[in-house]
Chain A
């Protein structure tokens, strides 16, 4: 299919058995079929039932996104798959750790901006900070951009984690 309409960003959630190889299956599916991964997070969310939740942010046409969902759903250890983007509104958060090194006015300015962004300081030396910031992707990008002129050393970021709004769950 050459012309499949516009490409859009989608956040897909999957509940999977927390077993060896399940992440490899999901990643292999994306790379093997040429799908795009913007970010992927995975962690155990139910120890008693041994289940993990995978959140994938991906881009594609409607047909590609539909394929990704169907392909994920037929993997044996996958319980449920949802395309949060089309199934109503959802909240999504990312976390970033940002190391900034500076002295004097630059150091004060970094701290001031961190305060505006409600970033917290999780490590400090006389010449450096590690800030912790959560929020939507855009907010994290904006913060990191501002830190570039203020002695940005390095960044570690998670991918997005997301839940649908309202009372029902996946």
Chain B
């Protein structure tokens, strides 16, 4: 508890009296924060004045608060450190809601500091007043309304603890303006643990043993890894790779998990789910033992839950108990951190020479090889127009040496990026998986570029999505960020059009992106270099120009207009009912099918 006196009750040093705004900057500095993404306004002016007076923390001025939240997500996902957002009350706070929800669904640690009207004005419908804690309660892991200045330092430390421990997520701290001004003694109790929030990190011994026993007997095993492995840190990805190599098991990954296992390795079957590979989905359907690790059986992964991997023994490792048995009933639940689980399993596997005892997998691999022979990602190339798949294949080939960080918007281009840009390492892939937020990619790439200016950061975009946070072009110029935007421009909200083609007899209601801007001119208006390519023969040189240019580049890559993204497990279908490019038959679905998202 805080004391109201300026003198410490235990130490001899008198406690320093700081204003709430000074406390905030002090606490953030102590917590190792050196970048804040934000936008000023009336209710945070005292904080901005303190930012002006110091040099340890760099403030990145975005052009819209949603951009700040996504930039913080991009920063967090590429570095593993929490991203920090600072916005004003009312519209500043409400504009972050999409970003907070995005971080909630993808388990990304961000701290969002919002200004609030002074305490005596709360509830009076004051200027720029909004019930920020009320609005953000369902879309944050936790939130705070600070009512006592003396408690502010502790709240900030606690917020970082909550955001980064257990299953990570967004945390909001709403600070009334009078608290930012009021002085109180600065005292912090270090949060090495929390009085109520105690996530289980260490897996239960019996559960680990049961998992090992099941894996030992597996004749048709599969590892189904997710974003939890990446959130567990690069060490978890190393352990996962070691375990997979040691056992010879096939492995697939969710959209969020891409990079947790090298995509270029032969044991990797590609992404699974709605636009996953034929081999990954069939292996999931036919496996006898499934090791789900840091993944959450999302509907985009499972398809029809009733017919999801029938007959397999399912092991589910997750740090969040509420993820277990939520969508799919599992046989062996293991609550804990992915790295802890993998470390323990590896130890047992090595100590008990399990590699010699495990079942022979040659028949299973033979089956997988047959599935692979379908070549589900194959597409028919074209000489006079650029195929979107081709554009991404070439982007991958020409950038892979640079180990790029790729962000995406949402839609067809995102799925093609997941299919064609192989990720060999974690923290290189920034995409809005759970919420599916168009407008995510550009600010996320900016966040990643702020974290490391030397990296090649590319936002793979669609011409519709990129317009949702296009104002952030200006942010990149202000901070000299050499971000690249690679737009697959097919003049359609491609995924909407694809669903209308498959389910609504091609009635393309409102999915044509009419009145498109000239992206080259638009980029140049903001100070970016603009490039356009529509000739397949010039694709490589355009990509190379984009990479070589020392500064931000926007590429308007004109691709064929009506390409569809395959393979596809349609909503309500099972994993073994995938559509391939050759099955591309449009039509009208019944009402039950149309009700599925």
Contacts and interface: CB of A to CB of B under 8 A. Distances in A.
B286 interface: no
B162 interface: yes
B70 interface: no
Interface in B186-209: 194-197
A39 interface: no
Contacts of B133: 21
B1 to A, nearest CB: 11
A70 interface: yes
A66 B323 CA distance: 11
Given A1-B329, A17-B196, A79-B196, A70 B324 contact: yes
A70 to B, nearest CB: 4
A53 to B, nearest CB: 14
B538 interface: no
Contacts of B320: 70, 74
A20 B145 contact: yes
Interface string A56-72: 00000001001100110
A33 B328 CA distance: 17
Interface string A1-19: 1110000000000000100
B57 interface: no
A69 to B, nearest CB: 9
**A contact face: mostly helix, strand, loop, or mixed:** mixed
B142 interface: yes
A63 B322 contact: no
B295 to A, nearest CB: 17
Nearest to A3: B306
A88 B141 CA distance: 32
Interface in B122-138: 133-134, 137-138
Contacts of A25: 137
A24 interface: yes
B162 A76 contact: yes
A76 B196 contact: yes
Nearest to A80: B196
A16 B162 CA distance: 17
A77 interface: yes
Contacts, number: 49
Contacts of B138: 28, 32
Contacts of A73: 321-322
A24 B306 contact: no
Interface residues on B, range: 20 to 34
Contacts of B196: 17, 76-79
Contacts of A78: 196
Nearest to A24: B137
Contact of A76 (B134, B197, B305, B327): B197
Contact of B322 (A21, A24, A71): A71
B134 A67 contact: no
A21 B324 CA distance: 27
A17 B324 CA distance: 26
A21 B146 CA distance: 12
A63 B167 CA distance: 21
Nearest to A20: B145
Most buried by B among A21, A70, A76: A76
B325 interface: yes
A119 B329 CA distance: 47
Nearest to B167: A74
Nearest to A77: B196
Contacts of A28: 137-138
Contact of B305 (A1, A21, A74): A1
A3 to B, nearest CB: 8
B141 A76 contact: yes
13 contacts: A2-B305, A2-B306, A20-B145, A20-B147, A24-B134, A24-B137, A25-B137, A28-B138, A70-B321, A70-B322, A71-B322, A75-B142, A77-B196
Interface of B: 133-134, 137-138, 141-142, 145, 147, 162, 166-167, 194-197, 305-306, 320-322, 324-329
**9 pairs of A and B residues whose beta carbons are closest in the complex:** A70-B322, A76-B142, A70-B321, A76-B197, A71-B322, A79-B196, A32-B138, A28-B138, A28-B137
Given A63-B325, A70-B320, A79-B196, 15 more contacts: A1-B327, A2-B305, A17-B195, A17-B196, A21-B133, A21-B137, A24-B134, A24-B137, A67-B325, A67-B326, A74-B321, A76-B142, A76-B162, A76-B197, A78-B196
